[in-house]
Structures are given as C-alpha cells and as structure tokens.
A and B are shown apart, each in its own frame.
Chain A
Amino acid sequence: MDPIIDSFRKAFSLIFNLNAELLGIIFLSIKVSGFALLMAAVLGIPAGAFIGLKRFPLRSVAISLLNTFMGLPPVVVGLFVYLLLSRSGPLGFMGLLYTPSAMVIAQTILALPIVASLSNSAIVSVDPIVKQASVTLGATPYQVTMTIIKEARYGIMSGVIAALGRVMAEVGAILIVGGNIAGYTRVMTTTIALETDKGNFELAFALGLVLLFISLVINLLLHLIQKKGIVQTSRWG
C-alpha cells in the first residue's frame, strides 16, 4: 500500500504547489478539447437542426449513421486522421501531423456525432405546437427555425457537455496523431498513459485527480442544465 499512498501524497503536493509541468499539460488539454468542442458545436448544432427539421431522402439513414458514429473507437479515428495527415496522405502537405491542430481535428471528429445527434434529438422533441405558434405570430421560416433551436437549448447544451466529457477523457486518437511530444502535444490522458508505463506514478496520479475533478465539474454542469430544462409545469400551454 505504501507506494500508492506515497504517490497520492506526492500527487497532492504537485497539485497544491502548482507544478509548472502539470499546469502546462492541463492548459494544453483544455485548449485542445475546448477548440475541438467549439468546432463540433459550430458544425454539429446546425447539422443536428437540419436533420431534425428538414425532410429529405435517406434522413433515417443519416440519423442511424450519426448514432453509430457516437460510439466511434478513438483509435480508429486516430488511425484515420493519421492517414489523412501523414506525409503521403491527401492532407500531408499541410504538415499538421504531431501538432495540437491534428489533435483538435481528431477530437472534433469524435465530438461532432455526439453534438449533432443529441442536438437532433433535442430539436425533434420540441412540441410541434411551438412551430405553429411562431408562424401565427408572423415569424419568417428562418425565425421559426431559430425559435425551435432556442426551445431545444437545454438538450443541445447537454449534448455539448456530453461531448466535452468524451474528448477530455479520450487518449487513443490524440496519442496517435499528436505523438505525445513533451511540452507540445502531451495532454493529461497521454501523460497518464506514459508516466504509468515509466512507473512515475505521482504525476500520473496528480493528472488523474485533476481529470476526475474536471469530469465531476462536467457532470455537475450537465445535471444543472438538465434540471434547468425541466420546468416544473402543469403543461397547459
């Protein structure tokens, strides 16, 4: 038990002394996952709205594909992005492999189906009467769409937060496309994997604790948003 307790003690010491290496890794993790989430939201919310509001051929196929992609294995995404960005790949000329940008691309691909699919579910579950009400009040088709998206905001936010949870905890894809380069592409999860391999448990434990704390915050946020979305109502309207 002693090595474990000792590692925990050293891990807490790293956290409370605001160790520079630790802070750098945490900051990069948040930056990469934050950008990926932003990209996923910018692309995924309109995509989810389009699938939810428009009727087009193969719509049910698109929904099934989105749901399937929600469970994409990160290593497969990593492999796919690696092949795209490697020197001989179609996007090799951009020189993005083993950079934070490559990690953002991989995490965006992982987060996008979650944001799009949960946005779609939130939008289709908006009461159709809301659409009719906005039309009767003189809304243009664009305004009607925006009204429906606004009504689905809590569900959409839940999707974004769920996607954040997935990308923050992900290791396979960013390890492949980022290369785990110290001070450049090394993030929390890849550091934990590496330091555990090396037997350097205190940094791994410290990052594990931070990751757990972030996960707790994400889940609390999710809970708060879902709670706010459920208005205690007699639903007359």
Chain B
Amino acid sequence: MGLKLSVLNLWKTYNGNTAVKNCSYSFEPGKIYALMGPNGCGKSTFLRLCALLEEPDAGEINYFSNNGALKKDVGLSRKITLVLPKVGVFNATVFKNAAYGLKIRGMRKNDIEEKVEKILEFVGLTDKKRHNALTLSSGETQRLGIARALVIEPDIIFLDEPTASIDEQNTQIVEDIILKIRKQAGATIILTTHDTFQAKRLADNILLMRNGSFLT
C-alpha cells in the first residue's frame, strides 16, 4: 500500500491574506483527486504545503505508511513530488533532466539509463532526449516535468495545473499519462485544474475550494 496523506485544520497566511483556511482532508492511496476553484482560492498553496515546500502557519500534515506516521525528513520528501505549473527545467538535455531525481539518489548509471529510457518513452519524448530541455514546446515541457517526477517512482504526485498552458492535443496526451500513472504505478495523484470536464474525466474525487477552504 502507498502513502496516505492526512491534513488537519491547515492554515497559511501571506502578508495578512489567508490563502488556506482550516482545511482538513484524508487522501486515500492510489486515487486521483482534483482540486477545483477560482484563481487565488488557495489550491496551489495547499499543494505546496502538502508537498512540504512550505510550512503551514497552523494545522498538521501527516503522511502514513503501513508502519504508522512518517517523519518529515528527506526520506519522506523523496516519496512525494510536486510538478510546478512552470516546470523549472534545467539547462541540460531532456535525458539529464529526467535523470536528475535518480542521480541525486545515487543510483547507478546503467539503472538510470534504463529507467529514463523507459519513462521518456512513456511520455513520448524519446526522440527529444538529446535536445536541450529549454528548447521544448510548452506541452513537451509539461510532459518532461511529469517524466522527471514519475521516474523517481513517488507514492504521491502533486500536479499544479498540469494542462493550464498547453494545447488540446498535449492536454489529451498529459491526461492519458495521468491515467496510466494510476493504472501502472498505483500512485496517488492530487492535481489542480480549472476544467470541470477534465476533473470529471480524471478524478475519483473532486474537491472544491473557495476562499482558502474546502466546500463540503
């Protein structure tokens, strides 16, 4: 069984503006969750808090495995990952970008090559593997962002607006990848989107946010 994420009474404020207000929820392993809501309602902040990129002002974020609650250390942060809306690719080849997560985990070169080849094929970027990642189109960049996250085989993947800046064809490709991740890797996916139809197509559960809180 993968990780279970549970958040309790989460609060986050920036310069007096409350971005996340008293959010509580338990995310079951292996499911796809879609967070929906207007711009500025706190979706991205919620993801960043859950991905341990930022500390909440109040409340708890807990990850559980079969053996109980996990400590918030590098070990845990290597089981979860967030794909940002602006992916943040490195000035290196597509291959090196995809290999980054494995390299920093000290994996052997041969194993890295095998895994990266497989993941680039999965997201349809094999023919671009020697290209500089900064030269990719927006859709390809998004797919590389997902590949880079997937290759480390996380238990939970957070996707912050994975199709916000890409065309219809690439949106379709990214949606197919998301569904395949769940099917093949069994990872929990928590994504944000503005597209109601997309949320319905992909998610097992849809969570609505308004003014920093979940609507129940």
**CB closest chain-A residue, reference B140:** A236
In the complex, chain B residues whose CB is within 8 Å of the CB of A236:
86-87, 136-138, 141, 165
Give Cα A132–Cα B149 distance, bound, in whole angstroms. 13
Q: Is A136's CB under 8 angstroms from B84's CB?
A: yes
A residues contacting the other copy or chain, number (CB 8 A): 24
Q: Mark A128-151, 1 if CB is under 8 A from B, else 0.
A: 011011111111100100010011
Q: Is B101's CB under 8 angstroms from A234's CB?
A: no
In the complex, chain A residues whose CB is within 8 Å of the CB of B133:
237
In the complex, chain B residues whose CB is within 8 Å of the CB of A129:
84, 86-88
Query: Given A138-B81, A140-B74, are A231 and B104 also a contact pair (CB < 8 Å)?
Result: no
Q: Is A137's CB under 8 angstroms from B148's CB?
A: yes
* Interchain residue pairs with CB less than 8 A apart (17): A132-B53, A132-B84, A135-B53, A135-B77, A136-B51, A136-B83, A137-B81, A138-B77, A151-B90, A151-B91, A231-B91, A231-B132, A234-B135, A234-B138, A236-B86, A236-B136, A237-B87
**CB closest chain-B residue, reference A233:** B134
Smallest CB separation, A225 vs chain B (Å):
13
Give Cα A151–Cα B89 distance, bound, in whole angstroms. 10
A7-48 residues at the B interface, CB under 8 angstroms: none
Q: Does B27 contact A (CB under 8 A)?
A: no
The 7 closest A-B CB pairs, nearest first, are A133-B88, A237-B89, A129-B88, A138-B78, A233-B134, A236-B138, A137-B101
Q: Does A232 contact B (CB under 8 A)?
A: yes
Smallest CB separation, B61 vs chain A (Å):
15
B contact residues vs A (CB 8 Å cutoff)? 51, 53, 74, 77-78, 81-84, 86-91, 100-101, 104-105, 132-138, 141, 144-145, 148-149, 152, 165
Give Cα A147–Cα B82 distance, bound, in whole angstroms. 18
Give Cα A127–Cα B134 distance, bound, in whole angstroms. 13
Q: Is B134's CB under 8 angstroms from A231's CB?
A: yes
In the complex, chain B residues whose CB is within 8 Å of the CB of A198:
none
Query: Given A137-B148, A143-B104, A234-B135, are A132 and B91 also a contact pair (CB < 8 Å)?
Result: no
Smallest CB separation, B158 vs chain A (Å):
8
**CB closest chain-A residue, reference B77:** A138
In the complex, chain A residues whose CB is within 8 Å of the CB of B149:
136-137
